[in-house]
């Protein structure tokens, strides 16, 4: 799986893995899965690195945090899909948030939580979205969950429920959105308990979040005073963001990887988040916060989002993964796949590979897939109103 | 030259019109000339009564009483000037004639003149044919093609028949290189038929989805219940799969090439791999060859007479597309692209009622074929 020799190959996803990915909503309708019989994905350099990360976590049970950025159609969502596939094959738990936008649009129910202290910030919950998350979690990880029993005694759950396995526990929240928030807290507590042997063994977790830039600003929700609510005031969002940005060495006690990727299509513009990405890049390269070259807020812009700005305090351990264009061998592998499947009706030579690499803006995967699948008309197609007269 | 004081006067007084005194002087001059002319004519003294001196000179027709007819006046002028007009053209001898006559040596003659000079006895070689039409086959019969392909016996052997200069090489330029014709003609026609409210990019997205669905559809099978419902494909075993046979590319060939022929070379099983050819073949197969025009009152008793009218390629395709879209709207799928694509697949497999519509038009055209001449312009024969 982490074999660098596979770089440039297109590998198929089949078997029970497909069902798991489908239940986790890993496939998107805007991707070109419907052109092929079996979904397949290109093994890239970044895929090999993911494989190395998974092996490290398997050995040492560390927690790795990655923020994946890149231009439009550079393969960020498919990178998450590849990570999920590897996690399922390694018998990990996978928590997937396929679309962060639905958490901020005010299209789902929300309710305030009772504040412990008056001075605290008001926190909100989203029961239906939590329930959807539990549905994806329960169905895609059902094989593993049905073999694990709960360790804790969850007293706040109503009695009379037959909860023998973690799968039963998660399904309660999946089926009833009113209990979803409490069930999610219970499930999370179970998963983050340090693992023991046997039935209480807890596997590593992969958390995959797609479109995290939607969570970096104001939502369309309003408070009781009709003031807009910030995304970080939502409990689920805050919890998942804390997993991405935290300085605790083992935030996932049983090990795991937290992957969050941005989206560049139809995305909101949050300058504070752009600054945060630049700052994380600088931190990864070794520049400290007080060094002269460290990116700072432009004082002539509008006020910064303090909550997003404060994420920098805990962003020390988050690695930035920048997805750039494919290399030429990788693009050749991808185009050969398109040619073998009958989509691309021309010979795949170094010349045509270089041509398509250039036309796709330097190997941007999504653009190259579009070029490979393009239905080109024949050179000899003529018709009425032809400009160049080819006959006497 | 107007005096400086004139510049200060208003513009209206700028002197573009001659002053009355100047005009009067001119008129007097004309009158005097006429009297002089009149007095030169012999035997006509008594007809003239020139204006007595001292009186104010009048306009050209005022002072003299013209009792002469215009032709008589003209005759008088001719006599003064001489009966023969001056010979302007015949003043000198052309230079070429002089050179020939004097036998000037050739090196003294300029080159341009040498080129123009023709040996004596040679005249026009061209036939003064007033007929605009020259039959192509007579031209070809007169000329002979030599072994290296050049046409001999013509004035400009480098060029093709009827040309003076060699034609440019258009083999590297295809239709697709023209910006406004960059899409396949059938694809473009279908896309614009789908378009609503001018939203072309949305129509193009739908078209792309249609082609993707055609691509992933199974190869169309013949319908055994209706053997007549076949696509325009050559289903023979010798059809090649590698390269399509292009139409006749020789611009000098007198054989007209059908530019709009459907791609009959593709085998049926590989149609989904060529979604554009799949679309073209389906549309061209379902397209009717004629439309029926109802001519009012000609059938007798007030009834209208059906007259079949042939359709061009674009008209045929348009009719086919309209039928396809109408049949697509009767389907239950939500997305337009899915509806249209599935209708196309149904047509290709011969299961669609659109074939019946086409059959009806053709049957009516066949039965009304004798009406083709009726109602066609001009005088009606009684």
- Closest-CA distance, A10 to chain B, in angstroms, reads 20
Q: Does A392 touch chain B (CB under 8 A)?
A: yes
Is A387 an 8 Å CB contact of chain B?
Answer: yes
Tally of CB atoms within 10 A around B37: 15
Task: Please report residues of B whose CB lies closer than 8 A to that of A35.
Answer: 212, 215-216
Interchain pair A388, B173: CB under 8 A: yes
Kindly state the percentage of chain A with pLDDT values over 90: 81
A378·B263 Cβ contact <8 A? yes
Per-residue pLDDT band at B242 (split at 50, 70, 90): very low
pLDDT for position A204: 96
A387 and B253 in contact by Cβ < 8 A? no
* Residues of B in Cβ contact (< 8 Å) with A343: 215
Residue A379 sits at the chain B interface (C-beta within 8 Å): yes
Of A256, A259, A264, A255, residue with least CA distance to A244: A259
pLDDT over 50 at A154, yes or no:
yes
What is the value of pTM for the model shown?
Answer: 0.73
Q: Tell me, what's the pLDDT at A257?
A: 97
Q: Give the residue, A255 or B159, on which the prediction is more confident.
A: A255
Quick one: which of A132, A36, A72 has its CA closest to A339?
A: A36
CB spacing of A381 vs B185 below 8 angstroms: yes
The answer to whether the Cβ–Cβ distance between A388 and B174 falls below 8 Å is yes
Distance of CA B152 to the CA centre of its chain: 31
Q: Where are the alpha helices (DSSP H) in chain A?
A: 16-23, 45-60, 76-89, 127-140, 142-145, 166-175, 180-191, 235-244, 271-284, 306-310, 328-340, 350-359, 365-372
Per-residue pLDDT of B37-93, as tens digits, reads 555 555 444 555 555 666 666 677 666 666 778 888 888 888 888 877 777 777 778
Nearest-Cα residue of chain A relative to residue B169: A390
Instruction: Choose the closest CB to B216 out of A35, A377, A378.
Output: A35
Per-residue pLDDT for A285 more than 90? yes
**Distance from C-alpha of B204 to C-alpha of A191, rounded to nearest angstrom:** 48
Is residue A14 very low, low, confident or very high in pLDDT (cuts 50, 70, 90)?
confident
CB contacts < 8 A, A to B, total 90
B256 vs A378, A381, A391: nearest CB: A391
Whether residue A260 is predicted with pLDDT greater than 90 in this model: the reply is yes
What element of type H or E holds A228?
A: strand A228-230
For B216, nearest residue in chain A (alpha carbons): A35
Q: Which helix (H) or strand (E) holds A205?
A: strand A205-210
Look up residue B260 and give its two tokens: 């709009």
Q: Calculate the average pLDDT of chain B.
A: 77
**CB-CB under 8 Å, A342 with B312:** no
Give the burial class of B85: count Cβ atoms within 10 A of its Cβ; 0-12 exposed, 13-18 middle, 19 or more buried. Answer: exposed
Query: The tokens of A132 are what?
Result: 């959807």
Q: What is the pLDDT of residue A334?
A: 97
Residue B288, Cβ neighbours under 10 Å: how many? 20
Q: How far apart are CA A314 and CA A291, in angstroms?
A: 18
Cβ-Cβ contacts under 8 Å, B313 against chain A: 383-384
Read off the pLDDT of each residue in A112-137 and give the average, rounded to a whole number. 96
pLDDT tens-place string over residues B97-107: 888 888 888 78
- pLDDT level of residue A284 (50, 70, 90 thresholds): very high
pLDDT at position B127 is 60
A176-196 residue pLDDT tens: 999 999 999 999 999 999 876
Q: What pLDDT score does A392 carry?
A: 34
Give the other-Cβ count within 10 Å of B355's Cβ. Answer: 19
Q: Tokens standing for B46?
A: 């008594």
All residues of chain A having their beta carbon less than 8 Å from the beta carbon of residue B276 are: 375-378, 381
Distance CA B79, CA B44 (A): 15
Distance CA A316, CA A362 (A): 31
Asked if residue B263 lies in contact with residue B244, where contact means CB atoms within 8 angstroms, the answer is yes
Tell whether the torsion through CA atoms of A115, A119, A122 and A123 is positive or negative: negative
Cα–Cα dist B56/B59, whole Å: 10
Inspect the interface and report whether the beta carbons of A377 and B184 lie closer than 8 Å.
yes
Write the residue in B250, B259, B277 that is nearest to A386 by C-beta: B259
B368/chain A closest Cα distance in angstroms: 29
Residue in chain A nearest B187 by alpha carbon = A377
Our CA-based measurement puts residue A182 at a distance from the nearest CA of chain B, in whole angstroms, of 39
- Structure ipTM: 0.84
Q: Do B247 and A382 touch (CB under 8 A)?
A: yes
Task: Report the residue of chain A nearest B185, measured CA to CA.
Answer: A383
Tokens for A264? 């560049």
- Cβ of residue A380 closer than 8 Å to a chain B Cβ: yes
CA distance A152 to chain B (A): 49
What pLDDT score was predicted for residue A40?
96
Band of residue A224 on the pLDDT scale cut at 50, 70, 90: very high
Chain A residues whose CB is inside 8 A of the B252 CB are: 392
CA dist B299 and B305 (Å) reads 5
Q: Which residues of B touch A (CB under 8 A)?
A: 170, 173-176, 178, 180-181, 183-187, 208, 211-212, 215-216, 244, 246-254, 256-257, 259-260, 263, 273-277, 312-314
């Amino acid at each position: 799986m982490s074999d660098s020799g596979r770089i440039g190959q297109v590998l198929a996803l089949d078997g029970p893995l497909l069902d798991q990915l489908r239940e986790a909503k890993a496939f998107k309708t805007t991707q070109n899965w419907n052109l092929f019989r079996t979904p397949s994905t290109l093994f890239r350099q970044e895929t090999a690195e993911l494989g190395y990360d998974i092996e490290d976590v398997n050995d040492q049970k560390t927690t790795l945090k990655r923020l994946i950025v890149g231009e439009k159609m550079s393969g960020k969502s498919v990178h998450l899909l590849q990570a999920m596939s590897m996690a399922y094959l390694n018998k990990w738990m996978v928590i997937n948030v396929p679309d962060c936008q639905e958490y901020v649009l005010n299209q789902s129910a929300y309710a305030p939580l009772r504040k412990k202290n008056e001075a605290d910030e008001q926190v909100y919950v989203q029961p239906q979205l939590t329930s959807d998350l539990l549905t994806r979690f329960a169905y895609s990880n059902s094989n593993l969950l049905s073999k694990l029993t709960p360790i804790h005694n969850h007293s706040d759950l109503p009695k009379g429920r037959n909860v023998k396995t973690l799968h039963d526990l998660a399904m309660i929240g999946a089926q009833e959105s009113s209990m979803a928030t409490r069930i999610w807290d219970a499930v999370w507590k179970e998963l983050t308990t340090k693992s023991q042997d046997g039935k209480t063994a807890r596997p590593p977790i992969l958390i995959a979040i797609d479109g995290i830039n939607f969570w970096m600003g104001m939502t369309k929700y309003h408070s009781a005073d009709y003031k807009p609510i910030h995304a970080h005031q939502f409990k689920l969002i805050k919890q998942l963001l804390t997993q991405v940005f935290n300085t605790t060495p083992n935030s996932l006690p049983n090990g795991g990887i937290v992957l969050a990727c941005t989206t560049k299509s139809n995305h909101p513009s949050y300058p504070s988040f752009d600054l945060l990405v630049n700052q994380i890049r600088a931190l990864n390269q070794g520049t400290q916060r007080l060094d002269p070259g460290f990116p700072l807020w432009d004082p002539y812009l509008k006020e910064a989002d303090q909550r997003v700005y404060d994420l920098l305090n805990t962003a020390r351990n988050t690695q930035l993964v920048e997805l750039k264009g494919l290399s030429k061998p990788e693009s050749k592998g991808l185009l050969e796949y398109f040619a073998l499947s009958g989509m691309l009706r021309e010979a795949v030579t170094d010349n045509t590979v270089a041509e398509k690499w250039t036309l796709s803006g330097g190997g941007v995967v999504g653009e190259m897939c579009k070029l490979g699948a393009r239905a080109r008309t024949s050179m000899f197609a003529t018709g009425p109103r032809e400009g160049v007269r080819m006959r006497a | 030259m107007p005096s400086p004081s004139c510049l200060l006067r208003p513009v209206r007084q700028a002197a573009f019109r001659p002053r009355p005194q100047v005009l009067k002087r001119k008129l007097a001059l004309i009158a005097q000339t006429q009297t002089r002319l009149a007095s030169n004519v012999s035997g006509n003294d008594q007809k003239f009564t020139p204006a007595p001196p001292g009186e104010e000179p009048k306009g050209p027709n005022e002072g003299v009483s013209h009792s002469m007819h215009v032709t008589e006046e003209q005759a008088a002028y001719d006599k003064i000037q001489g009966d023969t007009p001056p010979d302007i053209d015949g003043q000198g001898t052309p230079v070429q004639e002089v050179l020939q006559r004097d036998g000037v040596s050739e090196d003294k003659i300029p080159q341009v003149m040498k080129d123009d000079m023709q040996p004596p006895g040679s005249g026009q070689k061209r036939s003064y044919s007033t007929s605009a039409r020259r039959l192509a086959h007579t031209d070809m019969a007169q000329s002979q093609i030599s072994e290296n392909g050049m046409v001999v016996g013509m004035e400009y052997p480098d060029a093709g028949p009827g040309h003076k200069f060699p034609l440019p090489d258009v083999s590297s330029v295809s239709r697709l290189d023209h910006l406004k014709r960059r899409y396949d003609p059938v694809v473009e026609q279908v896309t614009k038929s789908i378009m609503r409210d001018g939203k072309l990019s949305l129509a193009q997205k739908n078209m792309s989805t249609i082609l993707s669905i055609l691509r992933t559809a199974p190869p169309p099978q013949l319908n055994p219940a209706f053997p007549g419902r076949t696509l325009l494909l050559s289903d023979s075993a010798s059809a090649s799969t590698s390269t399509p046979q292009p139409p006749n590319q020789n611009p000098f060939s007198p054989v007209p090439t059908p530019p709009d022929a459907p791609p009959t070379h593709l085998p049926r099983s590989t149609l989904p791999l060529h979604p554009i050819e799949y679309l073209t073949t389906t549309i061209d197969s379902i397209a009717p060859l004629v439309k029926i025009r109802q001519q009012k009152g000609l059938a007798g008793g007030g009834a209208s007479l059906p007259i079949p009218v042939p359709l061009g390629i674009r008209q045929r395709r348009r009719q086919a597309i309209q039928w396809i879209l109408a049949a697509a709207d009767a389907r239950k799928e939500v997305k337009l692209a899915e509806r249209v694509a599935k209708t196309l697949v149904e047509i290709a497999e011969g299961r669609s009622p659109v074939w019946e519509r086409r059959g009806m038009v053709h049957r009516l055209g066949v039965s009304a074929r004798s009406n083709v001449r009726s109602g066609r312009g001009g005088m009606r024969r009684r």
